[in-house]
Chains A and B, each alone.
Chain A
Amino acid sequence: MIHAYDSVIVFTLGRVLIPVMQLFGLYVLFFGQYGPGGGFVGGVILGTSVILSILVFGLNESSGRLVSRVLHGDGVGLLIFAGVGGLCLIGGGAFLNYADLEFPGLDVASRRYLGILLAQIGVAVDVAVTSVSIVLSLAVTNEEEDSHV
């Protein structure tokens, strides 16, 4: 397990910076259609904020169990992306052709807009969960090697 870093400066700055990072990640994710950014970058920023909170505040029993349960959903993001593609199939079109998404009352451009947004959320979830899981598995391996020495 990763232990909390015992420093007032790191604690205070982490408490201030981590919500700002998460807010910025969400902004990048949902504003990717109007400016630079998108699902991949937003997901990496969200994952990095979780990694920073793990490094600063440590991984105690309750939050560790929560994080490992979240990580069981490793493929949820991929499922969202593929599910959007599957909905297009159900709508009678080709895989990932968002124009065939069955949303009543939307024109074709709005359907494509919504499809892009949902697919970006899928990419962001996948990237964020994967980055946190890689860091956690590396950290746990380090801990085991330390205990052998």
Chain B
Amino acid sequence: MTFSVEIPLLILLIVTAAGAILVKDLVSAVFILGSYSFLLALVWAWLGAVDVAFVEAVVGAGLATILFLLTLFGMAPKDIHVHRPSSSWPALIGLPLLGGLLLYAAGDLPELGNPASPASVHVSPFYLENSMQHTRTPNVVTSVLMDYRAFDTFMETVVIFTAGVACALLLGRHRV
């Protein structure tokens, strides 16, 4: 495993995440968040999750940026510049403690690509071995999402439909 690209990528990820939180102008924050999503897509691709990287690049860096920008353009100019209160002392003590706890717990995570990790021994081998005979679909991600776990995907589609209907009702599309 080479560290020439990955370490700067992860550092850039942290820098853009902090920048999106700390910057005063919300339009700048939206664009920094878009670049954060793009870097996150590169990280997913590095980890081998190409489908997730694709979704992250298209939705996170593309569609979400448009939606955030259109929302900001509908706001009054005084609301676009935010004044952040200084952090309180419970946050300054508690958050590093939480971060240390998570780092401590991360030591027990299985190694990346370990075939004996709990995620790789339960149902994944069945999908990987049978996807081609069952569904003639080489991309196992698609066959899991759309066939083996089709009910989950159906409910996700219902969620998207509900979001569209709620936006149309709240924002008054019937006056188009």
Q: Is the CB of A48 within 8 A of B139?
A: no
Closest chain A residue to B70, Cβ basis: A138
Q: Is the CB of B63 within 8 A of A44?
A: yes
Alpha-carbon distance between A96 and B147 when the two chains are bound, in angstroms:
8
For residue A9, which residues in chain B have a CB less than 8 angstroms away from its CB? none
Could you tell me the distance in whole angstroms from the C-beta of A129 to the nearest C-beta in chain B?
Answer: 7
For residue A110, which residues in chain B have a CB less than 8 angstroms away from its CB? 136
Closest chain B residue to A45, Cβ basis: B58
Q: Is the CB of B62 within 8 A of A33?
A: no
For residue B147, which residues in chain A have a CB less than 8 angstroms away from its CB? 98, 112, 115-116
Q: How large, as a class, is the contact surface on chain B?
A: 35 or more
| Per-position binary interface string of chain A over residues 123-141, scored 1 when its CB falls under 8 Å from any chain B CB and 0 otherwise | 1001101110111111111
Q: Give the residues from 75 to 121 in chain A that come closer than 8 angstroms, CB to CB, to chain B.
A: 75, 77-78, 81-82, 85, 95-96, 98, 108-110, 112-113, 115-116, 119-120
- Given the interface pairs A113-B136, A116-B143, A120-B146, the reply to whether A37 lies near B54 with Cβ below 8 Å is yes
Q: Is the CB of B164 within 8 A of A95?
A: no
Interface centre among A45, A64, A116, A127 (most CB of B within 10 A): A116
Pick from B2-10, B86-94, B116-124, B153-161 the stretch touching chain A.
B153-161
Q: Is the CB of A109 within 8 A of B136?
A: yes
Grouping DSSP codes into helix (H, G, I), strand (E, B) and loop, the B interface class, with mixed when no group exceeds half, is helix
Alpha-carbon distance between A123 and B153 when the two chains are bound, in angstroms:
9
Task: Pick 15 A–B contacts, CB within 8 A, sort by A.
Answer: A38-B51, A39-B146, A41-B55, A44-B63, A68-B176, A77-B161, A81-B157, A108-B134, A109-B133, A112-B136, A112-B137, A116-B142, A126-B157, A136-B176, A144-B175
Query: A58 at interface (Cβ–Cβ under 8 A)?
Result: no
Alpha-carbon distance between A139 and B71 when the two chains are bound, in angstroms:
8
Query: B138 at interface (Cβ–Cβ under 8 A)?
Result: yes
| Per-position binary interface string of chain B over residues 39-73, scored 1 when its CB falls under 8 Å from any chain A CB and 0 otherwise | 00000000000110111001100110011001101
Could you tell me the distance in whole angstroms from the C-beta of B63 to the nearest C-beta in chain A?
Answer: 6
Query: A4 at interface (Cβ–Cβ under 8 A)?
Result: no
For residue B73, which residues in chain A have a CB less than 8 angstroms away from its CB? 142
- Given the interface pairs A44-B63, A119-B146, the reply to whether A36 lies near B54 with Cβ below 8 Å is yes
Closest chain B residue to A139, Cβ basis: B70
Query: B135 at interface (Cβ–Cβ under 8 A)?
Result: yes
For residue A144, which residues in chain B have a CB less than 8 angstroms away from its CB? 175
Query: B99 at interface (Cβ–Cβ under 8 A)?
Result: no
Give the interface of A toward B (CB within 8 A).
28, 32-41, 44-45, 47-48, 51, 64, 68, 71, 74-75, 77-78, 81-82, 85, 95-96, 98, 108-110, 112-113, 115-116, 119-120, 122-123, 126-127, 129-131, 133-142, 144-145
Q: Is the CB of A78 within 8 A of B171?
A: no
Known A38-B141, A116-B146; further 13 A-B contacts with Cβ < 8 A: A41-B55, A78-B158, A78-B161, A85-B154, A98-B147, A108-B134, A112-B135, A116-B137, A123-B153, A127-B160, A131-B63, A133-B167, A140-B172
